[in-house]
């Protein structure tokens, strides 16, 4: 059975996908579910932009120009060659600035910022001075000297698989191609010449640079598949903004497929089917129709309250990455923002972001939700997110190292700038400041002191600070969960980040394909910690929310509500579905299930208890997509 049948609709960011093996764990009678053996060759990648499309392939090959060997110039031409290199840099800067301006007009300010890293690289001392040094000292041509310097830079970065580093290498490749084409007198590729006049195609490429992705037209490109790339890459962000279905990291596909081959692309499941049969195409056309019908039905729920059948109101909020996503979240029925990730403001930059820029970003989200809470997470940097200006140290295990609140407290200029913008924005709504990766009480106390100090400074400067922002702690580690009772006396709310809590509790890298079978949010240890935090919140009278992906899983939402957690936050696309689950269930039945599962010793037993109780509580046939997901037996 293809895993596209089994993904929760709308779970674009999900870290926990329901696979055929897991569906068997959840539903004892899952064997009665229909199966389909695809005759076409199925390849799996990473879902980057949702949507199902079927069409002919166009393989896009845009390699960096090859520099001929040799490239030695006479000594008397060195200064002229250096000048030629600088002229090429200036010309490329103008190209990128024009492309950035076009992107700003067509897509928006945030998408236009994607080109900032390339503009910074153009002026990077290591790149520029290194190239000039090779020209002056080795009498190399500009092309050869620049190529050598880029290869050295790539070698420095190639030892890591961090997504942010991979994205930076992609930016460098884009820049390398532009400068070499300028130096070698080659034209920039004309994408319009790659497609037929009326032909709509699925583009397949080794990787796609941001400058090429920004020029793709949804009217000509049905979908995009790349051999490499990440979901967070600049190209992936652009395809989502353009609403082009996309799957990335399908290893070697561009070398295994030819122009004119037919392809099915499932951007929600991260699957492609090469040269599908008629039955394959019929299956995916029906699936696409069902998903679209399901999504339309769910959108009708947007204006309804998320209240259970026995009257328990659940605050359903949205997780967002960019300010522009706030309006989409509101249209899908969010009652506020439960997690606004702010790293987009700093990643890929060589300098601290201006306070005014941060302030405008926060204000934009608050204006979309003037009467609802907006929970803004302070910078969760480190791990796989590191702006150039921080010069983070090399660490054996960066996800257990200098990151998140630890880093912010050690970098007061960075932290104060963000706090100033947050407190200023509080004049426009209910700002709630959330501290990530808290593991000690002192981190909360130091943060509160800095927030209060910043607030007094702003008041002295004449800003309106009459509205105090609530302060909360993310519960992402067993340490934070176990000291929840002490933390509760010093914060206004908890927000449980289940993605990291599962990872750290089970000692399983959530990004590891080899260990994916061990990453299970229904493990008894995880469930025990979740219930403990929920109990502490009820006892201490503070709100407990869940903003991790478990909240976007129907069985997960059912369990969390049974624990008494009053607020869930999910991706905008999952809002309506989870609301439908909430409106169809009884909290009292969910509580009964939690009482039973707290004595369970395996994830399978916990899932079985939840499944049986939810099935008895909810007529899954009313759920369209869910009846296919969970079986109707």
Q: Is 547 annotated as catalytic?
A: yes
- On the CB side of 432, CA atoms within 13 Å amount to 23
Domain ranges of the chain: 40-62+191-276, 75-183, 296-630
Token reading at 630: 């969970």
Q: Is the pLDDT of residue 459 over 50?
A: yes
The rounded distance, in Å, linking the Cα atoms of 434 and 376 is 6
pLDDT band with cut points at 50, 70 and 90 for residue 512:
low
Q: Per-residue pLDDT tens for 234-283?
A: 778 778 878 899 999 898 999 899 999 999 999 988 899 999 999 999 99
Q: Do 284 and 304 meet the contact criterion of CB atoms below 8 Å apart? A: no
Q: Which of 5, 234, 283, 523 is catalytic?
A: 234
Q: Which residues contact 485 (CB under 8 A, 6 or more apart)?
A: 536, 539, 540
* Distance (Å, whole) CA 483 – CA 479: 6
- The pLDDT score that the predictor gives to residue 198 is 67
**Widest Cα–Cα separation across the chain:** 87
Cβ neighbours, 10 Å, residue 168:
23
pLDDT score for 495: 97
Please, which pLDDT band fits residue 510 given cuts at 50, 70 and 90? Answer: low
pTM of the model: 0.69
Given 5, 523, 547, 553, the catalytic residue? 547
pLDDT of residue 306: 93
CB 376 within 8 A of CB 451: no
Q: Is 61 helix (H, G, I), strand (E, B) or coil?
A: coil
The verdict on domain 40-62+191-276 having CATH code 3.50.30.10 is yes
pLDDT above 90 (res 165): no
DSSP secondary structure letter of residue 44:
E
What does the pLDDT read at residue 568?
Answer: 97
> pLDDT tens digit string along 352-368?
888 999 999 999 999 99
Q: Average pLDDT, whole number, for the chain?
A: 82
Q: pLDDT: is 374 or 105 the higher one? A: 374
Which of the four pLDDT bands, split at 50, 70 and 90, describes residue 579? very high
CA angle 486, 548, 375 (to 5 degrees): 70
Span of 132-136, 370-374, 398-402, 585-589 with lowest mean pLDDT: 398-402
**According to the model, what pLDDT value does residue 511 have?**
59
Q: Which residue has the higher pLDDT, 209 or 335?
A: 335
CATH class of 296-630: alpha beta
| CATH code of the region 75-183 | 1.10.274.10
Task: Give pLDDT, residue 186.
Answer: 86
* Lookup: tokens for 471: 């302060």
Give CA–CA dist 449/457, Å, rounded: 12
Task: Give, in degrees to the nearest 5, the angle at Cα 318 between 316 and 319.
Answer: 140
234 among known catalytic residues: yes
Contact call for residues 606 and 614 (beta carbons, < 8 A) = no
* pLDDT range class, residue 188, cuts 50, 70, 90: confident
Q: What contacts 174, CB < 8 A, 6 or more positions away?
A: 118, 209, 210, 211, 212
Distance CA 612, CA 607 (A): 8
pLDDT over threshold 80, residue 26? no
- For range 220-240, the mean pLDDT: 83
- Number of continuous H segments (helices) and E segments (strands) in the chain: 25, 16
């Amino acid at each position: 059975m293809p895993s596209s049948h089994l993904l929760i609709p709308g779970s674009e960011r999900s870290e926990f996908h329901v696979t055929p093996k897991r569906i068997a764990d959840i539903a004892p009678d899952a064997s009665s579910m229909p199966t389909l053996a695809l005759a076409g060759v199925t390849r799996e990648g990473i879902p980057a932009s949702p949507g199902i499309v079927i069409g002919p392939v166009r393989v896009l090959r845009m390699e960096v120009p090859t520099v001929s060997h040799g490239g030695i110039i006479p000594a008397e031409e060195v200064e002229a060659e250096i000048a030629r290199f600088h002229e090429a840099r200036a010309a490329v800067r103008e190209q990128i600035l024009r492309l950035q301006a076009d992107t700003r007009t067509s897509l928006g300010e945030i998408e236009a910022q994607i080109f900032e890293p390339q503009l910074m690289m153009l002026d990077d001392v290591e790149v520029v001075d290194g190239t000039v040094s090779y020209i002056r000292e080795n009498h190399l041509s500009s092309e050869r000297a620049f190529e050598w310097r880029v290869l050295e830079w790539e070698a420095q970065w190639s030892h890591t698989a961090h997504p942010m580093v991979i994205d930076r290498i992609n930016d460098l490749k884009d820049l390398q191609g532009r400068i070499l084409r300028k130096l070698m007198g080659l034209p920039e590729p004309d994408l319009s010449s790659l497609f037929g006049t009326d032909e709509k195609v699925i583009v397949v490429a080794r990787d796609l640079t941001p400058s090429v992705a920004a020029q793709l037209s949804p009217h000509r490109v049905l979908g995009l598949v790349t051999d490499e790339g990440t979901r967070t890459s600049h190209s992936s962000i652009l395809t989502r903004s353009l609403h082009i279905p996309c799957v990335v990291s399908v290893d070697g596909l561009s070398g295994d497929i030819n122009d004119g081959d037919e392809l099915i692309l499932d951007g929600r499941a991260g699957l492609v089917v090469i040269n599908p049969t008629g039955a394959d195409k019929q299956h995916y056309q029906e699936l696409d129709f069902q998903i679209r019908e399901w999504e339309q039905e769910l959108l009708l729920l947007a204006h309804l309250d998320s209240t259970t059948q026995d009257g328990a109101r659940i605050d359903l909020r949205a997780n967002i990455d960019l300010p522009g996503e706030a309006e989409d979240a509101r249209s899908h029925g969010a009652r506020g923002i439960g997690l606004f990730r702010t790293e987009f403001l700093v990643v890929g930059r060589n300098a601290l972001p201006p306070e005014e820029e941060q302030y405008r970003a926060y204000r934009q989200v608050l204006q979309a939700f003037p009467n609802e809470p907006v929970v803004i997470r302070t910078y969760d940097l480190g791990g796989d997110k590191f702006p150039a200006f921080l010069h983070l140290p090399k660490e054996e295990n960066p996800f257990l190292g200098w990151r998140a609140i630890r880093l912010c407290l050690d970098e007061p200029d960075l932290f104060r700038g963000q706090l100033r913008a947050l407190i200023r924005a509080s004049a426009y709504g209910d700002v709630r400041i959330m501290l990530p990766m808290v593991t000690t009480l002192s981190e909360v106390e130091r943060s509160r002191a800095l927030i209060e100090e910043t607030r007094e400074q702003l008041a002295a400067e004449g800003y309106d600070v009459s509205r105090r922002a609530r302060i909360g702690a993310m519960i992402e580690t067993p340490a934070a969960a176990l000291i929840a009772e002490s933390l509760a006396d010093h914060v206004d709310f908890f927000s449980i980040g289940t993605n990291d809590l599962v990872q750290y509790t089970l000692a399983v890298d959530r990004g590891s394909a080899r260990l994916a079978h061990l990453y299970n949010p229904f493990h008894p240890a995880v469930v025990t910690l979740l219930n403990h935090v929920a109990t502490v919140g009820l006892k201490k009278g503070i709100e407990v929310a869940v903003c991790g992906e478990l909240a976007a899983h129907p069985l997960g939402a059912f369990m969390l509500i049974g624990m008494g957690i009053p607020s869930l936050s999910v991706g905008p696309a999952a809002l309506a579905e989870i609301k439908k689950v909430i409106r169809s269930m009884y909290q009292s039945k969910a509580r009964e299930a939690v009482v039973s599962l707290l004595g369970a010793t395996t994830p399978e037993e916990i899932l079985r208890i939840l499944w049986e109780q939810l099935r008895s509580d909810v007529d899954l046939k009313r759920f369209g997509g869910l009846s296919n997901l969970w079986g109707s037996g």
